[in-house]
Amino acid sequence: MSTIHPDQITAERLAGLTRGVQGGMAPAPGTGDGTLIDTPGVRPPLVLNSRSFKEVTDIICGYAENSPPRWWLPLFGLVSTVAGLGGALIGYLVITGIGAWGMNNQVDWAWDITNFVFWIGIGHAGTLISAILCLLKQKWRTAVNRSAEAMTIFAVICAATFPGIHIGRQWMAWMLFPIPNANAIWPNFRSPLLWDVFAVSTYGTVSALFWFMGMIPDFASLRDRADRRLRANPEGGARLLPFLPVRIDRLRALVYGFLAMGWRNSGRHWHRYEAAYLILAGISTPLVLSVHSIVSFDFATSILPGWHTTIFPPYFVAGAIFGGFAMVLFLLIPARELYPNMKDFITLRHVENMAKIILVTGMMVGFAYSMEFFIAWYGANEYELYCFQNRAFGPYWWAYWTMIGCNVLSPQLFWFKAMRQKPLVVFIVSCAVTVGMWFERFVIIVSSLHRTFLPGEWNMFHPTFVDVGIFVGSCGVFVTLFLLFMRFLPMFAMAELKAVLPQASPHWHGYGHGDHSDHGHGANGHNGHDSHAPARHSSRGAH
């Protein structure tokens, strides 16, 4: 009696279902792919084409299981070479000393710290999407949170490199941490630079934990699929390399199985998992706000004109979210074009929502820029007023106006709905914002340092090829890691995506009640064409 089929007919019918003709499923005119519905009361679909649970698994696991798209390997080769060259230049820098950079005694923070703040800022969008949008119950986040979190971690890796190599004697970097040393002295806990060490390392760790915890159920899916293929075909199956007798699925079952830690989708486990997820979202929210606030303290607690302002923490946090969302769009808009079926998950509505966030945070950043000028004038401090005049009209005027053009002017396009809804326009604006946010940090750091109180301290900064090379190398590291992520890890939070499908609710009208399945009419019948529940149900079987 090992197998009993109580209702053989039902089982066979369920197994043999095919997708019905998708009549009436074409998006209504004026709604783009069908998600740009503006009617209040109608929730736009989060996933297009009425994907079944199985299709979601197949598509998303397919990104990690099938051979990558043709462009993947050449691009990977290119960016990993760039990353390697950047690494070689870091080696050159360590051997030569940080004089290899264009910094000097006057401008003693330049591209290194610019890059640090640039990357750490980009990291903030991931936690914003996974934590703050989770607390705000923004369900659309499920399609973008995994890749945004991945991006966060890779950005933090790039960011953490720069203070590490900026300290001069890089082999002493361990002295940043409170480790007992031969001189029996401890780090200076009253310095914002040390706060920064703790903030960034905590941020990187917590983001990685959050990312990993989110992936546990998806690792279990990948493990189970590999396991099923191994059981179906115990001997054959693709090999890792033609001459290596290691089968890919054996390796997958092992690695994904190890990472899944024995997750078995138990209801009791899910209950605690969801509690843990909510808690992590709750504690990451103040964390993400604290990290860039503390980064801004690096500047704000000094007495330098242009740095010593109280607006810095909120201004930096808004800028970080602004730049981070631009980077999410910069990565995901090409990805949704290049990967099959990805447009079903990252819809035009997602692009539009993120464009709105760019507009809002861009306005906040613009407000901060103007408020800095206002306070410089209103505060009647001649050094500060000079500093800001010098920013806009001094030797670095081009950097300042690049920043204004990219960060303040370009997002204004998003006041127009038609612009927010065109992925190409959104992509171009997010490129501009990414450039602009790099220039923002450059402007803050270099334009303040190159004209300090005494004219004797005045100097210019000119980057060397080591400056440029290490920055480009960090971009290479970032894209390399992101390509590896897209190739080997679940790119979407599958379990979460399934949970936001309409049929995931046990109370979905399509399931009816018991054996009387025609309750689809009435209150829930706004879907019109599919209000008859059994027909809807049978249209969502296997493909």
- What Rg value do the Cα atoms of the chain yield, rounded? 26
Asked if residues 52 and 497 have their Cβ atoms less than 8 Å apart, the reply is: no
- Candidate residues 273, 316, 339, 478; the one interacting with another protein per rule CB under 8 A: 273
Segment lying near another protein (by CB under 8 A), choices 155-163, 254-262, 332-340, 459-467: 254-262
Report the distance separating Cα 402 and Cα 45, nearest Å: 38
- Closer CB to another protein, residue 223 or residue 451? 223
Question: Is residue 195 within the footprint of another protein (CB under 8 A)?
Answer: yes
Binding residues for another protein restricted to 30-69, rule: CB under 8 A: 52-54, 57
Q: For another protein, how many residues bind (rule: CB under 8 A)?
A: 84
User: What is the residue whose two structure tokens read 């934990």?
Assistant: 209
- Closer CB to another protein, residue 290 or residue 389? 290
Question: Is residue 516 within the footprint of another protein (CB under 8 A)?
Answer: no
Question: Is residue 496 within the footprint of another protein (CB under 8 A)?
Answer: yes
- Closer CB to another protein, residue 1 or residue 380? 1
Question: CB-side exposure of 183: number of CA atoms within 13 Å?
Answer: 5
Contacts of 90 (CB under 8 A, 6+ apart): 161, 165, 470, 473
- Candidate residues 43, 172, 274, 377; the one interacting with another protein per rule CB under 8 A: 274
Report the distance separating Cα 249 and Cα 352, nearest Å: 39
- Candidate residues 505, 521, 529, 543; the one interacting with another protein per rule CB under 8 A: 505
Tokens found for residue 105 = 């005694």
Report the distance separating Cα 437 and Cα 431, nearest Å: 10
Q: Which of 499, 496, 524 is nearest to 511 (CA)?
A: 524
Distances 469 to 192, 287, 390, 463, 473 between C-alpha atoms, Å: 29, 32, 28, 10, 6
Q: What is the DSSP letter of 237?
A: S
Q: What is the DSSP letter of 446?
A: I
- Candidate residues 146, 166, 225, 252; the one interacting with another protein per rule CB under 8 A: 225
- Closer CB to another protein, residue 51 or residue 422? 51
Report the distance separating Cα 287 and Cα 192, nearest Å: 16
Binding residues for another protein restricted to 158-187, rule: CB under 8 A: 178, 184-187
Segment lying near another protein (by CB under 8 A), choices 81-89, 266-274, 306-314, 352-360: 266-274
* Amino acid letter, residue 55: E
Report the distance separating Cα 25 and Cα 44, nearest Å: 13
- Give the largest CA-CA distance in the chain: 92
Q: CB of 51: closest distance to another protein in angstroms? A: 11
Report the distance separating Cα 475 and Cα 430, nearest Å: 16
Q: Which of 495, 505, 501 is nearest to 213 (CA)?
A: 495
Question: Is residue 269 within the footprint of another protein (CB under 8 A)?
Answer: yes
Question: Is residue 137 within the footprint of another protein (CB under 8 A)?
Answer: no
- Closer CB to another protein, residue 252 or residue 422? 252
Residues 414-453, mask of contacts with another protein (x by CB under 8 A): ----------------------------------------
Question: Is residue 271 within the footprint of another protein (CB under 8 A)?
Answer: yes
Q: What is the DSSP letter of 43?
A: P
Tokens found for residue 518 = 């025609």
Question: Is residue 294 within the footprint of another protein (CB under 8 A)?
Answer: yes
- Candidate residues 81, 96, 170, 205; the one interacting with another protein per rule CB under 8 A: 205
- Candidate residues 49, 503, 524, 538; the one interacting with another protein per rule CB under 8 A: 503
Question: Is residue 504 within the footprint of another protein (CB under 8 A)?
Answer: yes
Question: Is residue 138 within the footprint of another protein (CB under 8 A)?
Answer: no
251 burial (CB, 10 Å; 0-12 / 13-18 / 19+) is middle
Q: CB of 537: closest distance to another protein in angstroms? A: 8
- Candidate residues 11, 88, 172, 244; the one interacting with another protein per rule CB under 8 A: 11
3-state secondary structure 399-442: HHHHHHHHHHHHHHHHHCHHHHCCHHHHHHHHHHHHHHHHHHHH
Report the distance separating Cα 192 and Cα 312, nearest Å: 14
Segment lying near another protein (by CB under 8 A), choices 206-214, 236-244, 333-341, 448-456: 206-214
Question: Is residue 78 within the footprint of another protein (CB under 8 A)?
Answer: no
Report the distance separating Cα 35 and Cα 55, nearest Å: 19
- Candidate residues 24, 42, 73, 258; the one interacting with another protein per rule CB under 8 A: 258
Q: CB of 257: closest distance to another protein in angstroms? A: 7
Question: Is residue 543 within the footprint of another protein (CB under 8 A)?
Answer: no
- Closer CB to another protein, residue 76 or residue 212? 212
Segment lying near another protein (by CB under 8 A), choices 223-231, 313-321, 374-382, 455-463: 223-231
